[in-house]
Structure 1
Amino acid sequence: MGHEVRGVVARERGKAVGVETIHVPDPGPGEALVKVRACGVCHTDLHYREGGINDEFPFLLGHEAAGTVEAVGPDVTGVEPGDFVILNWRAVCGNCRACLRGRPWYCFNTHNATQKMTLADGTALSPALGIGAFAEKTLVAAGQCTKVPAEASPAVAGLLGCGVMAGLGAAINTGGVTRGDSVAVIGCGGVGNAAVLGASLAGAARIIAVDIDPRKLDLARRFGATHVVNSAETDAVEAVRELTGGFGADVVIDAVGRPETYRQAFYARDLAGTVVLVGVPTPEMKLELPLLDVFGRGGSLKSSWYGDCLPSRDFPMLIDLYLQGRLDLEGFVSETISLDDVEAAFHAMERGDVLRSVVVL
């Protein structure tokens, strides 16, 4: 029979989103129906609305979510009705060459629900990152559900589903930050401040937050930055070098994803240091660097896919740290809103007024 629910839909490139009635099928083989309890407003959703991901309109937006499993299809064993879960957009297959080599966080064959959610007239929807969680219920592959303790607040748990996990993982998993390291993070929005938090959690000795917005730099201090640099007022590369004895940071994380910030990251690292790109560039962007500098400075230039996380490993561990009071996830929630407020939340994000607006259902 399926379910008629309210969801936030982007019908056209660059046009305001609206709340519409959508049809969600009952789960088929390998699928789970999830009652969404909270979903963060991520910049990726805005990219979808602007056509920056692809042109497969209309989109059912929302992906940074937590909820309760309501039903599962045949052959599902990992979760069951009543489980409190965080949704992820990289359900690993277990059989591709990355999974078989013991690197499932790189899975090259991640999957989503097979059935389509639709508008009331039957038009198929493209769910953002295969999730579509700005809705009262959504249909996902069961592997996209990671069970976590139900004591966690849905408004903060869902943030691990994308931005916060991306930043934490960029520092801990991709960057390999460890005790005593110096770390610089360029761009202190939700992902960047999560990278600051990850570096602090890993025991970095010096954490330098770089941004052009003093409000975001103030938040970076809350998450563990030992120093802040306003790059609208001073040269970021020179400032990072000065704060690291003239050498540069051991790990520099670009949480913006623009050619100019990547160049800053490249030259702000120490010799043999690591650059991690976790900010998402747009298709037209190009990067030019002297090849001799790439060779001569050594080290590693890495891209971080979803913080190189393994949801089944990382989500429960991070929720446990949150419940112990050791992981400040609540600091990312700037406001809680309804489905009807998503368009306004996009504008607040563009103005830099929020780290995360969170839809609570």
Structure 2
Amino acid sequence: MERVVQFTGPRQVEVAEQPRADLPAGHLRIRTRYSGISAGTELTAYRGTNPYLTRTWDAEARLFRDGAAGMEYPVAGWGYSEVGEVLEVAPDAAGAPGLPQPGDLVWGIWGHRSEGVVPAERMIGHTLPAGLEPLAGAFARVGAIAYNAVLAGDVHVGEDVAVFGQGVIGLITTRLAQLNGARVTAVDALDGRLKTAERYGARHTLNARTDDVAERVRAATGGLGADLAIEISGAYPALHEALRSVAVGGRVVASGFYQGDGIGLRLGDEFHHNRVQLVCSQIGGVPPQLAHRWTVERLQRTFLRLVAEGQVDVTSLVSHLIPVADAADAYVLLDERPADALQVVLEF
């Protein structure tokens, strides 16, 4: 039997047991060691706000359609930040160049389940880099999301960049923007996260609840405004403040997963009058202008290489390592006490 974390309804979590899946041709079986919880995407299914619960995504038309749900409860095995050990390789896949072998530690996406059965082609090149702590492998995807946002922002050396939201992905974004040569202002509503942002390379920090963020950013840049703002919290008021904070013709990257109507976002104000460039960053693809060189796969591999080289610290972002049997407690923590947690990881 294998264990699978599933949502049986809004704010209802159980760890179910299911029969062990057969190993089809062209697949690997992986025993999970760690699985990171996404405090953004996953909580939309946990809370019942995910658009797929009420609408269907038409992949051909690239539109959401009303009238039918694209997914329904129970939602089983969500998660996209897994690390595990290869147990089996289907005979027809064995020997493929770059394919992990039994005993290898690998990173990838197979959800919150004790075993993953994954197509071999998705695991080529996914052996953990030498010397990398296994827990760090759980950051491949979240690191790629931050990396994608920085690439979409087209950061140049010496530019002023404001990063809105200093959760796990925001802190990594702050670090990557600083590595790119930017002077970073970190914005969040929690002072504890702002202190961590200083360690991750922020030159300035602003509290979204108590500081006049746009005015402070403009004052620090001689009245110009930031060259770029990256909004990664998924809060509409934060996106609005990001639009207020950039220079005329400045850039704003919207990388959060925004839910519901855009309350607090007023596009007739600074966005309109300052002719701000608003760019969407979403991990389903890379910025179009870089698609001839970059892929999501390259984002993930490069990020883990940076971690292995000591350029980015991720393991200190793990605030809670929770046994999978207590998965329900992990979601309550993230939902009700987000100030007490950064990266929550399930241990199998």
Residue aligning to 1:345: 330
Is 2:209 the partner of 1:232? yes
Residue aligning to 1:80: 100
Report the alpha carbon displacement of residue 155 of structure 1 after superposing the two structures with TM. 1.4
Residue aligning to 1:105: none
Residue aligning to 1:280: 257
Report the alpha carbon displacement of residue 176 of structure 1 after superposing the two structures with TM. 1.8
Q: Distance in 1 between matches of 2:42 and 2:236?
A: 22
Q: Distance in 2 between matches of 1:46 and 1:153?
A: 27
| Paired amino acid for 1:37 | R
- CA contact 1:169–1:195 (8 Å) conserved in 2: no
Q: Which residue of 6, 9, 13 maps to 1:12? A: 9
Q: Distance in 1 between matches of 2:189 and 2:271?
A: 27
Residue aligning to 1:360: 347
Q: Distance in 2 between matches of 1:331 and 1:301?
A: 32
SS at structure 1 position matched to 2:18: strand
Report the alpha carbon displacement of residue 255 of structure 1 after superposing the two structures with TM. 1.0
Report the alpha carbon displacement of residue 318 of structure 1 after superposing the two structures with TM. 2.4
- CA contact 1:41–1:342 (8 Å) conserved in 2: no
Aligned runs of 1:288-307 on 2, under 5 Å?
Answer: 288-290=266-268, 294=271, 296-298=273-275, 300-306=277-283
Is 2:26 the partner of 1:39? no
Q: Which residue of 125, 129, 132 maps to 1:149? A: 129
Distance 1:178 1:65, change over 3 A: farther
Is 2:157 the partner of 1:165? no
| Paired amino acid for 1:23 | P
Residue aligning to 1:68: 85
Q: Distance in 1 between matches of 2:49 and 2:119?
A: 25
Distance 1:29 1:193, change over 3 A: same
Residue aligning to 1:137: 115
Distance 1:274 1:72, change over 3 A: farther
Deviation readout 1:32-90 (Å, 9 max, x if unpaired): 322212111212222222233334221223221122333344458452333432214xx
Residue aligning to 1:269: 246
TM-score normalised by the chain length of structure 2: 0.81
| Paired amino acid for 2:136 | V
Q: Distance in 1 between matches of 2:28 and 2:117?
A: 6
Report the alpha carbon displacement of residue 179 of structure 1 after superposing the two structures with TM. 1.6
Distance 1:269 1:188, change over 3 A: same
SS at structure 1 position matched to 2:340: coil
Aligned runs of 1:72-151 on 2, under 5 Å?
Answer: 72-73=89-90, 74=92, 77=96, 79-82=99-102, 83-88=104-109, 131-132=110-111, 134-145=112-123, 146-151=126-131
SS at structure 1 position matched to 2:19: strand
Residue aligning to 2:170: 192
Q: Distance in 1 between matches of 2:117 and 2:347?
A: 18
Q: Distance in 2 between matches of 1:141 and 1:317?
A: 22
Q: Distance in 1 between matches of 2:266 and 2:271?
A: 11
| Paired amino acid for 2:235 | R
Q: Distance in 2 between matches of 1:310 and 1:29?
A: 26
Q: Distance in 2 between matches of 1:63 and 1:215?
A: 26
- CA contact 1:40–1:357 (8 Å) conserved in 2: yes
TM-score normalised by the chain length of structure 1: 0.78
Distance 1:263 1:21, change over 3 A: same
Q: CA RMSD, aligned part only?
A: 2.3
Any stretches of 5+ residues in structure 1 without a counterpart?
89-130
Q: Distance in 1 between matches of 2:295 and 2:19?
A: 31
Residue aligning to 1:124: none
- CA contact 2:255–2:281 (8 Å) conserved in 1: yes
| Paired amino acid for 2:334 | M
Q: Distance in 1 between matches of 2:131 and 2:36?
A: 19
| Paired amino acid for 2:214 | V
Residue aligning to 1:219: 196
Report the alpha carbon displacement of residue 295 of structure 1 after superposing the two structures with TM. 5.5
| Paired amino acid for 1:174 | A
SS at structure 1 position matched to 2:84: strand
Q: Distance in 2 between matches of 1:49 and 1:34?
A: 26
Is 2:317 the partner of 1:316? no
| Paired amino acid for 1:262 | L
- CA contact 1:24–1:138 (8 Å) conserved in 2: no
Instruction: Quote the sequence identity (%).
Output: 28
SS at structure 1 position matched to 2:170: helix
Distance 1:143 1:360, change over 3 A: same
- CA contact 1:31–1:142 (8 Å) conserved in 2: yes
SS at structure 1 position matched to 2:169: helix
Q: Which moved more, 1:139-148 or 1:214-223?
A: 139-148
- CA contact 2:129–2:308 (8 Å) conserved in 1: no
Residue aligning to 2:224: 247
